[in-house]
Amino acid sequence: MGIFNKIFGGTSQPKEEKILPWIPLTAVSQLKAIAEKSKSKTQIIFKHSTRCGISKMVINQFVDAYNLDLNVDLYYLDLLNYRETSNEVGYKFQVMHQSPQLLVIKNEVVVVHASHGAINEIDLPKFV
């Protein structure tokens, strides 16, 4: 096993898991509060499909790159279990549904959004 670690960059120490301050987004009723809170603090919604390999890869990259010092509320939406909420996000914030998808909301409007690999290209501190 040692030779494979050297070749492929493995380490003997397990990687420490980063825990993000996710707020579960499970109900349509939360969207009004998110819009209201966006007047004073940036709100972020990450729409995730738990059955999609691309979505899993993107969320893992997002977690790895996420700056825990950002002063935002970070919502996690499992769009398969909360399809009605996912649909309402699109209507409320006027963004066509994609998966995975990230929406950054300030002053009740989406100031930037992206899907798939483009999620990790957003410079989040710029929008806080």
Q: Which of 111, 122, 121, 119 is nearest to 43 (CA)?
A: 111
- pLDDT (tens, 9 = 90+) of the chain, 128 residues, equals 454 454 555 555 556 778 999 999 999 999 999 999 999 999 999 999 999 999 999 999 999 999 999 999 999 999 999 999 999 999 999 998 888 999 999 999 999 999 998 999 999 999 98
> What gap in Å lies between CA 39 and CA 46, rounded to an integer?
19
The whole-angstrom separation of Cα 119 and Cα 62 is 8
Q: Considering the domain boundaries, does residue 101 fall inside one?
A: yes
Q: Is residue 94 part of a domain?
A: yes
For the entire predicted model, the pTM comes to 0.86
Domain harbouring 99, CATH code: 3.40.30.10
> How many CB atoms neighbour CB 106 within 10 A?
17
Number of domains present in the structure of the chain: 1
